[in-house]
Structure 1
């Protein structure tokens, strides 16, 4: 649908998904412009690559553009989107991504949790294994200096977003489902059955000569298997065609033996923490090995994997630890807090910003019970993400429900300053503070990290013993 002479404009170019497309288009020689509400490291990097960046959304930004790219996050009343539609030159982000996936040897990674980490691991293994893939990642990755890499082969590895049903546009040769769980139900009329049907459509679109990698123990995967037309392989920990055995967890990593059916392929070491990352690594390894990557290259790539930004990203170590994580679903919160607990420390303090009123509504009870591994829970206001407030849905109510089932301190704090002041007043040496959420809570994490740096420089924090 695009030709090299097209001038392409991306609304919300600073987002992970949009910036990945922008980076590839720039490297392919397209004229790229974009807009966002505020400058960021991502927009500055794209500007350095040659993109024309505008701060703020205005119709004039798209006047001389041939194609305008938008995502589901962009509201209908956005001036640039309306101008693009009036000119008849808009594409949804997933339509452009479909061009990359469907016209090449596409490898699509979907699932409720772990997509970004698994996609990154797979792309890194393939790169180290000589397959030189193009990759589009839903997060910032140190190994690729951003959210994407342009390869020279026909392989394209990308996250397939289930959140808005757009993954039904993809026709991959290979695909992977990390897990299936209720989320993003606002795009499925509140129906988990409709979400399952969406996964069914996704697997039905995999090319018959292709391959689907699926979790052995997932409780819902069997519901969609009748729709699969290609070969299937399972993965897991302790079970599956590809599986991790002899697992040893340590505070900031792990090691395990990777089996293919009855064959012990060898030991794998990870330098990212948590059992969930073993699970992600086994999934990525299964696909890579099926593509012909040798075990030596695979093991080296996984040992070198440094993680993606906002995936248990350690921002500071002393005098207290600060960790930033994208966790915004009850299952992800549990996994992140359990990982923090395994690190060891004085106290684990969860700082959580709920994301969207609809998600908070659907999972209010599950959120309330997801903080068991935290010693202290601090809840920020809900990050609306363009949604309107819903009656009876607030962080104050979530705090009340959490306190009813949690044995430690639970507080509702309104905004960054209130949270920062609480930490300054109450921190102890060895505490682990985790900022979690899909909104702007990472700003709190970054400021806490700056406080640690100031303290280490001798500018003084008074600890509470």
Structure 2
């Protein structure tokens, strides 16, 4: 495995260039941009970047030797503090009036959208692109880990930290496995060798954000364009409607528990920490498998990974063994530790389908399920608070925090108490609202007991409660 933190800075060049270039990344502390930084440097390029706020991710990049500065300013381009820049990379969410973008255009420096860069990587050789509304990070991680275990030496671009790769990126000589995020509208113009299509719902739809889709139909049409531009698609047959979205792709394969699926998970045997199952391909057995993360959705994610191992000619048994040891990427059913006999888990679930899946996984453990939930974004809460409330109903206890704004302005009348009121009206007797996070932490400290499962849940900073309970220090 290539260690990207110590990879040489004068090796093979990235797609689109015959010699090393200087890439400057706006928002380098983001989970996607930081992965680009590591991949580009491992391919021999000079990489610098800036971010509005310094974070554990930017600190880690600096520790790895990257040049990172706080804030955004034209001087990063005009005064060249990191040396002459060849390519400035930015997401579509960055406004065109951004000072560094304007300075780069005035200086004749190429400005490359982040999705265009991902497209070049996907086109540079055998590639697997994971699309869908839910499960992309986990599925991408599982595919990369399974291919690695199967001896196929993948490269990887992941929207989360993978312990096996010591980060969110990996450089190898095999297929390039990438998470392709539909929150960036530019993904619709890409394609890859093998598209993995997990599901399609209505996330990242509506509102004024530049990267959001105006309608769910527009977003789903974008999924269909990505699939049609790819060499083949492997889609989840258990998710209704995906077949129609894949109609433009003549080479279609399916996975799921459905009888008609090409790749099937059969003989599922769940336990408190995961699920044993067997994999068949068009009725013929491929081998036994296990996913060491509870929840039916993780069986499907693991099945997709093992299907990719089979498609690319890897050693199925070795890939399955590697996957059985995988405990998931950061913030996806991440085991933080214990407190007072309670098991403490953190999960990124933030929309209703993900929340329902995480609660189902929690119930599989057989423990008393206590969820600390932080709604994410005012717009998402406005659109889905009834579904969020319904998704949380199966938890034994729910502690609700204030909405994580994620830079959105408040929307009048949209508040966490909407979820609270609906759950109480539907008869949940152990749901409460905690505007003071310190008091919520104190309550958990006082009440944690053996047999409890405490799950911090949401896309904001709710994980800090679990960190404080267990003493976890994040890199």
Instruction: Say yes or no: does 1:51 pair with 2:75.
Output: no
**Deviations 1:13-51, CA, capped at 9 Å, x for gaps:** 122111110011111221111223444443233223321
Q: Is this contact kept in 1: 2:148–2:319, CA < 8 A?
A: no
2-structure distance, mates of 1:37, 1:451: 26
2-structure distance, mates of 1:59, 1:390: 33
| 1:423 aligned residue | 444
2-structure distance, mates of 1:422, 1:79: 46
Q: Tell which deviates more after alignment, 414-423 or 80-89.
A: 80-89
Structure 1 gaps, min length 5 = 453-465
Aligned with 2:326 (options 295, 305, 310): 305
Aligned with 2:225 (options 196, 201, 211): 201
1-structure distance, mates of 2:290, 2:133: 25
Instruction: Say yes or no: does 1:14 pair with 2:29.
Output: yes
* 1:52 Cα deviation after fit: 0.6
1-structure distance, mates of 2:463, 2:105: 34
**Deviations 1:356-377, CA, capped at 9 Å, x for gaps:** 1221122121111110221221
Structure 2 gaps, min length 5 = 1-15
Q: Is this contact kept in 2: 1:380–1:413, CA < 8 A?
A: yes
Partner SS, residue 392 of structure 2: coil
> Structure 1 residues 411 and 107, CA, compared in 2 at 3 Å: closer, same or farther?
same
| 2:346 aligned residue | 324
Q: Is this contact kept in 2: 1:68–1:89, CA < 8 A?
A: yes
Listed as ranges, the matches of 1:171-190 within 5 Å are: 171-186=191-206, 187=211, 189-190=213-214
Aligned with 1:292 (options 307, 313, 333): 313
Q: Is this contact kept in 2: 1:164–1:184, CA < 8 A?
A: no
Q: Tell which deviates more after alignment, 291-300 or 185-194.
A: 185-194
| 1:375 aligned residue | 396
**Deviations 1:129-152, CA, capped at 9 Å, x for gaps:** 232221101100001110000112
Aligned with 2:275 (options 254, 261, 264): 254
> Structure 1 residues 269 and 429, CA, compared in 2 at 3 Å: closer, same or farther?
closer
* 1:73 Cα deviation after fit: 4.9
**Deviation >6 Å, runs of 4+:** none
Q: Is this contact kept in 2: 1:213–1:233, CA < 8 A?
A: yes
**Deviations 1:175-204, CA, capped at 9 Å, x for gaps:** 110111111113555422112211111111
| 2:411 aligned residue | 390
Aligned with 2:372 (options 334, 344, 351): 351
Q: Is this contact kept in 2: 1:120–1:137, CA < 8 A?
A: yes
| 1:455 aligned residue | none
2-structure distance, mates of 1:92, 1:445: 36
Q: Tell which deviates more after alignment, 68-77 or 368-377.
A: 68-77
| 1:234 aligned residue | 254
| 1:166 aligned residue | 186
Partner SS, residue 339 of structure 1: helix
Q: Is this contact kept in 2: 1:6–1:66, CA < 8 A?
A: yes
CA RMSD of aligned residues (A): 2.2
| 2:149 aligned residue | 128
Q: Between Structure 1 and Structure 2, how many residues are aligned?
A: 446
| 1:25 aligned residue | 40
| 2:466 aligned residue | 445
2-structure distance, mates of 1:44, 1:214: 38
1-structure distance, mates of 2:225, 2:198: 16
Partner SS, residue 124 of structure 1: helix
Q: Is this contact kept in 1: 2:189–2:225, CA < 8 A?
A: no
2-structure distance, mates of 1:77, 1:317: 48
Q: Is this contact kept in 1: 2:92–2:184, CA < 8 A?
A: yes
Partner SS, residue 378 of structure 1: strand
Tell me the TM-score normalized by structure 2.
0.88
* 1:406 Cα deviation after fit: 4.7
Partner SS, residue 391 of structure 2: coil
Q: Is this contact kept in 2: 1:118–1:281, CA < 8 A?
A: yes
Partner SS, residue 420 of structure 1: helix
**Deviations 1:96-151, CA, capped at 9 Å, x for gaps:** 11110022222111111111111111112222223222110110000111000011
> Structure 1 residues 377 and 78, CA, compared in 2 at 3 Å: closer, same or farther?
farther
Instruction: Say yes or no: does 1:148 pair with 2:169.
Output: yes
Q: Is this contact kept in 2: 1:98–1:170, CA < 8 A?
A: yes
Instruction: Say yes or no: does 1:245 pair with 2:266.
Output: yes
* 1:321 Cα deviation after fit: 1.9
Partner SS, residue 248 of structure 1: strand
